[in-house]
Structure 1
Amino acid sequence: MYPFLKQTRIPHSSSLSYCSHLLDHCLSQKSINFVKIVHAHFLKLGLNTYTYLGNRCLDLYSELGHINDALKVFDDISHKNSTSWNICLKGLLKSGQLGKACHVFDAIPVRDVVTWNSMISGYASCGFFSHALELFVEMQGTGVRPSGFTLSILMSLVSSPCHAKQIHCRIIRSGVGLDNVVLGNSLITMYGKLGLVEYSFGVIMTMNQFDVISWNSLIWACHRSGYHELALEQFYQMRGSELFPDQFTCSMLMSVCSNLRDLDKGKQIFAFCFKMGFVYNSIVSSAAIDLFSKCNRLEDSVRLFKEQDQWDSALCNSMISSYARHDLAEDALQLFVLTLRKNIRPTEYTISSLLSSVSIFLPVEVGNQIHSLVPKLGFESESVVANSLVDMYAKFGFIDDALSIFNEVKIKDLVSWNTIMMGLTSNGRVSLTMDLFRELLNREGMLPDRITLTAVLLACNYGRLVDEGIEIFSSMEMKFGVKPGEEHYACVVEMLSKDGKLKEAIDIIETMPYRTTSDIWRSILSACAIYGDLQVVEGVAKKIMDRESQTYLPYLVLAQAYQIRGRWETMVRMRKAVENRGTKEFIGHSWIGIKNNVYTFASNQLQHYGGKDLYLLLNLLVWEMESEGYA
């Protein structure tokens, strides 16, 4: 099969170059069988102990994922140099054998910067961020000077502004900050990830030279931090320079327009893609499909998708998520089946999009079938898939299954914690939500964000944990760096209203830094009728009437308040005001999936489906929930 391997006697002077040629051929073929044949040839010739050839074989086996064969090669090398140790260490880390890698790291006689970088990167990729940072400190103690790659790894681990600034200072002291474009780009990205856009601008202004990636990093930093208009301004600045945008620039800009829901600007970017020849690039087309979908132009998304000559996972993922976003779960599933028939391997984002569509309308059995694909595709350790599974089971009420999946996730990101806490809260597991919140606070390098605190305040609201909720709300900006949003104010106002503390609730509303809407006043209106004096009820009702003139809710609440106080004439006048407005009550709907059918019920249809029996059953369920400790 390989005739040039039949030569058994090779002149010693040319043996190394000949063997090196064979290894180069192995590298181009990337065939494990060929590598093993060449390795056997080395063993036959007694060349397996040579350091150079051993290192080459070791590297090939590691690259192809055959770590056990690589370790045998490593043991055969008579005189191991630093390259031998580093290749072995990288191979173990790449194969996920962190424990063995640690033993090898401890055994290395002389550790250079490559050794330390490999180990720091290995800890980081396994989620042990604190260990990675500790190793960096130990590296500095040994006198090994960090390289640009070391600092890039550290910048990817940063989770607080304080650490980010310390690393930036370390780069400046090393004297490479102004000249190294890669480090400058990493700094821009690091500050953007933390929302410190002004520091990102400060970095790019001090850089002696920058490239397209520098502009892309700055646009991404603005986009990530919510400064979408500012991101577009950087694109205009970029066009004024000598650097041309690439497909990644265009993709990000369309994502910016998607978040702005600005179809006009999105179309301009799309036209620019035509001019630059990027329109059939998979990354750009995927972003355009997402843009049209988010701007309620699904037909344009479908048209663009059908115009593509070749499908790949990125395109299909965008289209599947677009269908899911528009509640077209059947279309999403049909497209998924079609991609399987075209041998397009699903990614973790494909599965995540499908699971989100299942949790909207399709029965849970379909979700179970998609769940069964996860281990077959090897996505058990993918956090985006695990988070989607947790969200799906929580929405269907299978909160124990959701909790079990969450507990099995080895590396939990903040999205994982937010998803399970929101699921537990919506399913009434208030005490468990609070326990998980305390556990999260004790974890190093992970601070709660806006969504985390919303879940916790909702739990305090449902569980009547007023004092604890107020304490969290009052300290969230100082303690966690999260400025209270409208959703946090709404939780606290409703919490205080339910507890009868109307004055405190009204004081919070009136001191809000946001424009007050009728919705937040609605949350205390009903409580006012029960707990508040008549003057308070009338004041709150008037605020809602001023903001929403067509609503009838404040009239009904006023009628109830007048009835409680025996003011029958005024009560009748309020009732007449409701009738004269001619508004109909908005009827809520619920749906339930049974096998392949989804049944929808309006709130006023219960009597038509045996309402008395249903209410009796609901009362039993409520009693059972209360006895089990649910809120």
Structure 2
Amino acid sequence: MQSLLKQVSGLHKTSLSYYSHLLDHCLSLKSSIHVNVLHARLVKVGLNTHTFLGNRLLDAYFRFGTLFDALRVSNEINCKNIVSDNICLKGLCRFGEFERARKVFDEMPERDVVSWNSMISGYVSCGLVGNAMWMFSEMQSSGVRPSEFTFSIVMSVVSSGCHGKEIHGGMIRKGVNLSNVVVGNSLIHMYGKIGSVDYAFGVFMCMEELDVISWNSLIWGCHRAGYEELAIDQFVLMRGTEHSPDEFTISTVINVCCNLLDLARGKQIIAFSLKVGFFSNSIVSSAAIDMFSKCNRLEDAVLLFQELSWSDSAVCNSMISSYARHGCVDNAVLLFVLTLRKNLRPTEFTLSSVLSCTSTFLPVEQGFQIHSWVIKLGFESDAIVASSLVDFYTKLGLINHAMKIFSSMAVKDLISWNTMIMGLAQNGKLFETLDTFKELVSEGMPADDVTLAGVLLACNFGSFVDEGMSLFISMEKEYGIKPAEEHYMCIVDLLTRAGKLEAAMDIVEAMPYEPSSMIWESILRACALQKDIKITERVAQLMMKSEPQSSLPYLVLARAYEMRGRWESMIRVTNEMKEKGVKNVVGCSWIEIQKHVYTFKADQLQPHGGQDIYMILRLLFWDMEADSYIDILRK
């Protein structure tokens, strides 16, 4: 504090400029201690009630202090003005106090565009998009003209092409300067996010001035919409302009190469980033690690990670995700523990990656420990981490734990809903699945292909033929989603389980593309129960063509001939299977007992300890036989 006083020693100690300069220095230092000391001095000289200094002190407390101190300063200001209220609105939203912010907003004698922007921005920041859009509509109804910043906030939450075009049209009607580079960049980013790349190019071509953000937004938009080659082309064109690529450009292009699995071009981009000195940026280096991993070059990803002379949460997260992706679960968990020991705060993506591999490969206890870390680090309210926890518990069959976490989520995105719906369906909570889907629809959340796949899966498992058919037929008309392979698979399996083979065949014949082997398997299993051998032969032949290495059509056809006493046909099918080198794939199951994994395959126990387990099973069998349990089971 003494150094600050020296810097303003030329000013009179009772002047507003003196304390205003002190507040400037406090803000530059980002120190709550200095703000507290300065507040005490203002109280001492009686200037804490002054509107200008009080507003500045209020802003400082909302930025670096506590909510209690900020509210105390607000009460000390004698004559509050619209600036005071706007600072309060922005600060309360930053602290998540939306009820208080709304109360301040409603009681304001006058509101300007900053007041409305603060509320809209606050709602958007916490995921309350519906509230934000309602506030935006009310703002226009009250006669307040939206600013360029207002439109940039609204554009950040646009979810559909129709909505985006509506906002764009509103900007034109309000006379917003679309040639402004900031506004143009926001429009390009918005259209790229919703997949309307043609409109993004239209805005880009009409802009009078471009900057590196314009190019980055266009490249990212192409990448986001799946036009990877087009994104590469724009990067090449950018290199020919006066705008040099920055770290964001490079990381985006590396991600493009990652999606294309184009290792050669990816290495060229990495070489370029090394040449211009971008590789020290954590976003670039983490993107490179991710690219090597997805291109099946884990060893290169590990080598690159080890060569980095510094540690960063983003880089560690990419490496943890890479280990998890390749099944190196022990390495992923070990690296996670090391990041904690180095006081590197894990991100929500780190925790999500660790949870995803823990639920599949590691003991349940380790998953519980990671859940404890989630709570300790304060991530339990994060939508990504909460969704991963829901997925973790549903995969373990602990569906009540998953439902409890889902119910406690303050903000649920579509991924959260989909995870819960799919988890309920996979765990046999079929009526709960349908109820959750109805709740999603009533909340106004747009369902996607994953949502409908989960609901159809529940209909399949529950043999809800009418509900499943009704949803399948209305998919495109009601939800705007064309049925994909997983939807056809569910509905065909549902119909074959219900004995409606002809209806299932009608759907397969009406498919706009060739059915997958999974669909043919479902029909083939149903054919095995049919009396008409011709249907079985027809489906088996079709599956032999689509999946030549699958043993299922040969086995089903041979079994059908055997049941009908057609021994020559049965031998012909089995010989054909041997001649084509088709091997019978044997399923297996495994169980973990005291950190040992035992695998059962084709009535044979694979790992160490198999004979001992079979001996125990024989003893149990004899014990049951002695107690006459076998007779009861036979009845």
Q: Secondary structure at the match of 1:386?
A: helix
In 2, distance between residues paired with 1:555 and 1:510? 22
Per-residue CA shift, 1:185-209, capped at 9, x if unaligned?
A: 2222222222222222222222222
Structure-1 residue corresponding to 2:189: 189
- Residue pairs, 1:49-198, within 5 angstroms: 49-198=49-198
Percent identity of equivalent pairs: 58
Structure-2 residue corresponding to 1:417: 417
Structure-1 residue corresponding to 2:540: 541
Alignment CA distance shift 1:572-1:52 (3 Å): same
Letter in 2 for 1:470: M
Per-residue CA shift, 1:553-581, capped at 9, x if unaligned?
A: 22221122223334344234334444555
Structure-1 residue corresponding to 2:312: 312
Gaps of 5+ in 1: 617-631
Q: Secondary structure at the match of 1:598?
A: strand
Letter in 1 for 2:597: V
Structure-1 residue corresponding to 2:265: 265
Structure-1 residue corresponding to 2:426: 426
Letter in 1 for 2:130: S
Alignment CA distance shift 1:489-1:78 (3 Å): same
In 1, distance between residues paired with 2:310 and 2:192? 34
Structure-2 residue corresponding to 1:499: 498
In 2, distance between residues paired with 1:332 and 1:449? 31
Gaps of 5+ in 2: 623-635
| Preserved contact between residue 4 and residue 25 of structure 2 (Cα < 8 Å) | no
- Compute the displacement of 1:29 (Å): 2.5
In 1, distance between residues paired with 2:516 and 2:107? 65
Of 229-238 and 68-77, more deviation after overlay is shown by 229-238
Structure-2 residue corresponding to 1:485: 484
Structure-2 residue corresponding to 1:622: none
- Compute the displacement of 1:589 (Å): 3.1
Q: Secondary structure at the match of 1:175?
A: coil
Q: Secondary structure at the match of 1:157?
A: coil
Structure-2 residue corresponding to 1:42: 42
Of 408-417 and 342-351, more deviation after overlay is shown by 342-351
Per-residue CA shift, 1:601-620, capped at 9, x if unaligned?
A: 3253369644789999xxxx
Task: Determine whether 1:203 maps to 2:166.
Answer: no
| Preserved contact between residue 363 and residue 595 of structure 1 (Cα < 8 Å) | no
Structure-1 residue corresponding to 2:287: 287
Structure-1 residue corresponding to 2:462: 463
Task: Determine whether 1:567 maps to 2:605.
Answer: no
Alignment CA distance shift 1:182-1:600 (3 Å): farther
In 2, distance between residues paired with 1:263 and 1:613? 57
Letter in 1 for 2:406: F
Alignment CA distance shift 1:615-1:579 (3 Å): farther
| Preserved contact between residue 159 and residue 194 of structure 2 (Cα < 8 Å) | yes
Letter in 1 for 2:328: L
Structure-1 residue corresponding to 2:510: 511
Question: Which structure would you say has the larger RCO, counting Cα contacts within 8 Å and 6 or more residues apart?
Answer: 1
- Residue pairs, 1:613-624, within 5 angstroms: none
Structure-1 residue corresponding to 2:361: 361
Alignment CA distance shift 1:386-1:532 (3 Å): farther
In 1, distance between residues paired with 2:113 and 2:582? 74
Of 573-582 and 338-347, more deviation after overlay is shown by 573-582
CA RMSD after TM alignment: 2.5
| Preserved contact between residue 32 and residue 65 of structure 2 (Cα < 8 Å) | no
Structure-1 residue corresponding to 2:626: none
Structure-2 residue corresponding to 1:447: 446
Q: Secondary structure at the match of 1:158?
A: coil
Of 282-291 and 70-79, more deviation after overlay is shown by 70-79
| Preserved contact between residue 211 and residue 243 of structure 2 (Cα < 8 Å) | yes
| Preserved contact between residue 500 and residue 531 of structure 1 (Cα < 8 Å) | no
Q: What TM-score comes out, normalization by structure 1 length?
A: 0.92
Q: Secondary structure at the match of 2:361?
A: coil
Per-residue CA shift, 1:145-199, capped at 9, x if unaligned?
A: 1011111111122223322211110111223353122222222222222222222
Structure-1 residue corresponding to 2:329: 329
| Preserved contact between residue 159 and residue 194 of structure 1 (Cα < 8 Å) | yes
- Compute the displacement of 1:486 (Å): 1.8
Task: Determine whether 1:584 maps to 2:583.
Answer: yes
Structure-1 residue corresponding to 2:397: 397
In 2, distance between residues paired with 1:239 and 1:181? 20
Alignment CA distance shift 1:595-1:107 (3 Å): farther
- Compute the displacement of 1:511 (Å): 2.7
Of 574-583 and 338-347, more deviation after overlay is shown by 574-583
Structure-2 residue corresponding to 1:605: 604
In 2, distance between residues paired with 1:228 and 1:4? 53
How many pairs align?
Answer: 613
Structure-1 residue corresponding to 2:252: 252
| Preserved contact between residue 263 and residue 292 of structure 2 (Cα < 8 Å) | yes
In 1, distance between residues paired with 2:172 and 2:280? 42
